[in-house]
Chain A
């Protein structure tokens, strides 16, 4: 409880400090952020969410991180090499200190990976990792159970935590290292990372304050942000207003309706980048016999005008998709593009014996993806043209997933972002034949099953020759395209708004985790 008192005390301190700062908000170093959500917790391993990962990039550093064109950039790991088929040796950066003052060494990496394997949210992702060993103070060896080509992708999730800081017992006798979901654990309230920013104060749901870490290792970074005030503003209109009125300097998730407003506003800029989250529909083959016929599935796909939805409904805020993996991912197949053709769709329906059509139910969330309910409505209207009458129900997120899990509707909307930023992940969750033992096809609403594709993707996941692997995944995408295992719509873009002089463009990428440590403000 003393912690809370310190927090309170520092609130007052911060308030006083903030007052002193306020009249010169133009001062170059303070960045006021309005994000749609704040981190749910300060414990990186308690919850895998956008909010927590964004926070991770502020207060911690990953071993490697993604560049704009999906290459790996060394951070706390400086070099890596495959020692044998299942072992990778990583050289760690020297001279790095944690916020607590403890030096960063290999034991922290070992500790962090072992903790990741304990985390309910990360356990499954880190399944391939068998063990990790500190060879010396600045070398670790990570061993996988089988040859695994995505170890570096996983390394983007390894944010070494200060093992000394998180070891021991709290005053009330709890283990400092424990991961407690939605509980009051030590790690969910205390932070010691290596990242560019230290958390100075936090009021959940109200604001988080950061200050630049003076001993930050990356002295070559040109980033000059010395303080961050993060205010969560969930309401789209309010977030945009906060930017336009100069209340904040930087916002995420500019809604499509406000894109032009931000773009044209004086003193603000719009930064738009293609995202990686695929939005689409799944056809329930268990409930609707017609969907077991590949011709009907093709007809559904052909009847949907992806370009039209991206252009008009999304106002260009989406990239029409013909496959799971967006450009830049290994496995992206440039030949697979949307193929809207109403006449062929009608012909296919007739050929399959469904000229008269049929009626189906459809469910979609109404506050999860950008314009989700409207998209579902548009798709319903398009399907009416091939005589599939859709009875659409939309609902808020909190009710949607329980409904989705029951699989009691005929068509369902789902968006997916691959945690590994890799093509195979989409297949494993969305189109693999359902296997409750292994967890394959966990989000395969339609019970679609094509063992050939599954075999190919599984083989690709054991292939360490990356070029060969890409070829296999491209092939898998092509097969899924023909067989229509998932109705692709588009990849949702990302849009940020930033005040004049906040040069946000170089530090954002498709993962949606801005690297604010490197942000340069010039006003």
Chain B
């Protein structure tokens, strides 16, 4: 166990190192940060002075060495836009993103497991067919569009007048299909509760939750169909296996067969995929946060790219790399917990 964690720690350091080198290597292609810092009419001599002060004129190796020397001591440089240490900026934006990912994950778990299991047990029922069809559509719609649709329907509101308003059923149908739309469409709201440090939470107040719903649903919309299908496929496979047949033959109640014996083995691959996907979800927050103006890391990163805020970009990429390593490590730990035959050190069991 200890050896495993140490190994992973080395991984994390290696990942950070590789990412930082790559990020530094491409920084010239990210654009000129000084351009973003001055008015258009500012003469070249002034720009040159700023570039010199920021050390942007030094050769690659000098710049990288300076960065690496400070980074080892925990100083990742100063964000040009926020005028604060990059790490501090990220720490301030991280809780918003984590809450969003947490809420989305919760939605995914709560919906994908029952739906997936149900459609595996009753593959031919109309309900299963509906979910399978819907999940195809869900996978195909880009998250950006989902988000805009959600805003249109639930924030702005839709008035349907497709059916004759004069008839009772027409008015009723119009009423059912129209939406009021008063869900908040942007930001985290003003009703945040301070927890600790940089962490203000949306999860406790009603207003906070209302702000969280639409972004969380649109973020979940990418992964939810995937998980429904994954759980269904795994479950169906497990249900075909010998031990399930044997359990049935033995006369164990179907409930117990499904939820105790079959589901446990279904979850193994789901956890592996899930761990990787949660990492991916952090990346998808870039889109969701942009549409909903959610003040998290994704939005911050996109702004940083637009402004060529290089210290912030490099630090973000390194932190995301670490998040990937950490989630993978946790997945492996859980994996070992769920299936004790798996040895963490990777030696054959």
Binding site for B on A (CB under 8 A): 8, 11-12, 14-15, 18-19, 22, 34, 40-41, 47-49, 120-121, 123-125, 181-185, 188, 203-207, 229, 231-235, 237-238, 241-242, 244-248, 367, 396-402, 416-417, 419, 425, 429, 436, 439, 442-443
**Does B71 interact with chain A (Cβ within 8 Å)?**
no
List 10 contacting pairs A-B, 8 Å CB cutoff, sorted by A.
A18-B190, A49-B39, A120-B42, A181-B38, A182-B54, A206-B187, A207-B187, A238-B293, A241-B152, A399-B31
B291 touches A235 (CB 8 A): yes
Which of A34, A124, A245 is the most central at the interface, judged by chain B CB atoms within 10 Å of its CB?
A245
Whether B192 pairs with A15 at a CB distance below 8 angstroms is yes
Choose the segment among B80-88, B243-251, B336-344 that binds chain A (4+ C-beta atoms closer than 8 Å): B80-88
Question: Which A residues are CB-close (under 8 A) to B190?
Answer: 14-15, 18-19, 22, 229
Say whether, besides A14-B190, A233-B186, A245-B181, A401 and B31 are in contact (CB < 8 Å): yes
The smallest C-beta distance from B316 to any residue of chain A, in angstroms, reads 14
Known A48-B42, A238-B290, A419-B41; judge A19-B191 contact (CB<8 A): yes
**Which of B37, B151, B190 has most chain A Cβ within 10 Å?**
B190
Which chain A residue shows the least CB distance to B80?
A182
Q: Which of B83, B183, B191 contacts A15 (CB 8 A)?
A: B191
A397 to B42, CA, bound (A): 17
Q: A398-B36, A398-B307, A402-B31 are in contact. List 11 more A-B contacts (CB 8 A).
A: A18-B190, A22-B207, A181-B37, A182-B37, A234-B306, A241-B156, A245-B155, A398-B35, A401-B35, A402-B32, A442-B43
A310 to B186 alpha-carbon distance, docked (Å)? 32
Q: Which residue of B lies closest to A229 (CB)?
A: B190
Chain B interface (Cβ < 8 Å from any Cβ of A): 29-32, 35-46, 49-50, 53-54, 78, 80-84, 148, 151-152, 155-157, 181-187, 190-192, 194, 200, 207, 290-293, 295, 299-300, 303, 305-308
Q: Are B300 and A205 closer than 8 Å at their CB atoms?
A: yes
Given contacts A235-B291, A398-B308, contact A242 B185 (CB under 8 A): yes
> How distant is the Cα of A417 from the Cα of B82 in the complex, in angstroms?
26
Q: How far is the CB of A218 from the nearest CB of chain B, in Å?
A: 28
CB contacts (< 8 Å) of A203 on chain B: these are 295
Instruction: Given A40-B81, A245-B155, check contact A238 B43 (CB 8 Å).
Output: no
B78: which A residues are within 8 A, CB to CB?
182-184
* A401–B38 CA distance with the chains assembled, in angstroms: 12
A residues less than 8 Å from B291 (CB atoms): 235, 237-238
With both chains docked as a complex, state the minimum distance between the C-beta of A337 and any C-beta of chain B, in angstroms: 27
Task: Indicate if the CB atoms of A241 and B50 lie closer than 8 Å.
Answer: no
A182 to B49, CA, bound (A): 13
Which A residues lie within 8 Å of B183 (CB)?
Answer: 245
Q: Which residues of A contact B84 (CB under 8 A)?
A: 184
Q: Which residues of B contact A429 (CB under 8 A)?
A: 41
Which of B53, B192, B306 contacts A397 (CB under 8 A)?
B306
User: Is B81 in contact with A120, judged by CB distance below 8 angstroms?
Assistant: no
Q: Which residues of A contact B49 (CB under 8 A)?
A: 120
Closest residue of B by beta carbon distance from A420: B41
Residues of the B chain whose Cβ atoms lie less than 8 Å from the Cβ of A204: 81-83
> Smallest CB–CB gap between A239 and chain B, Å?
8
Alpha-carbon separation in the docked complex, A188 to B79 (Å)? 14
Residues on A with beta carbons closer than 8 Å to the beta carbon of B152? 241
Given contacts A22-B191, A238-B151, contact A124 B293 (CB under 8 A): no
A398 touches B293 (CB 8 A): no
Please state if A205 and B303 are interface contacts (CB–CB under 8 Å).
Answer: yes
Alpha-carbon distance between A397 and B300 when the two chains are bound, in angstroms: 17
Q: CB distance A245 to B38 under 8 Å? A: no
Q: Are B151 and A245 in contact (CB under 8 A)?
A: yes
Residues of B near A121 (CB, < 8 A) are 38-39, 42, 46
Given contacts A19-B190, A238-B151, contact A188 B83 (CB under 8 A): yes
Instruction: Give the CA-CA distance A459 to B186 in the complex, in Å.
Output: 52
Known: A47-B37, A121-B38, A244-B156. A231 touches B194 (CB 8 A): no
Q: How far is the CB of A341 from the nearest CB of chain B, in Å?
A: 33
